[in-house]
Structures are given as C-alpha cells and as structure tokens.
Amino acid sequence: MKRVEIEFADSNIMHGWEHSGATSDEPAYAHAMGYLKSEDDNQITLTMAFNSSDLIFEKFTIPKGAIKSIKELRVK
C-alpha cells in the first residue's frame, strides 16, 4: 500500500454554549498520514496499519471535496 500525507479541511463542530465572537466559523485545516486503503470518485480511505492476514488497524475516510493536497511518502 502507498504511504500518503493528506491536507484537508476538517469539520468545525462546536457543542454547547459559546460567546458569539469567541470562535471562528472557518474550517480547521488538518494533516493525516497513513496507508492508502481505497479511493473512489467521492472519498479516500486511509488505514494506520495492516498485516499479512489482510487485517487493518483503524480506518479514516476523507471526502474528496475537503482535500487540499496529497503527497506520496517514500522511505529511504
């Protein structure tokens, strides 16, 4: 599997009471690194780890519309 780093616009979720001017309504930008598990026209799914028995550890799906950049990571 390819190793990648993805920069994406994350959801801005706030719960409960807050002061109206205290927070921004802009999305937060985040970076995720992992193994590219799957990709289609709508989303990319990363996994943290995998093994020789086809088991995966953790799974994270990012909508393609939120993605700002994708870089393939290489090990030297």
The DSSP secondary-structure symbol of 49 reads E
Contact by Cβ (8 Å): 46, 57: no
For residue 24, the 8-state DSSP code is: -
5, β-bridge pairs? 33, 71
| Domain ranges within the chain, ordered by starting residue | 3-13+27-73
Q: Per-residue confidence of the chain (76 residues) as pLDDT tens digits? A: 899 999 999 887 767 776 666 667 777 899 999 999 999 999 999 999 999 998 999 999 999 999 999 999 998 8
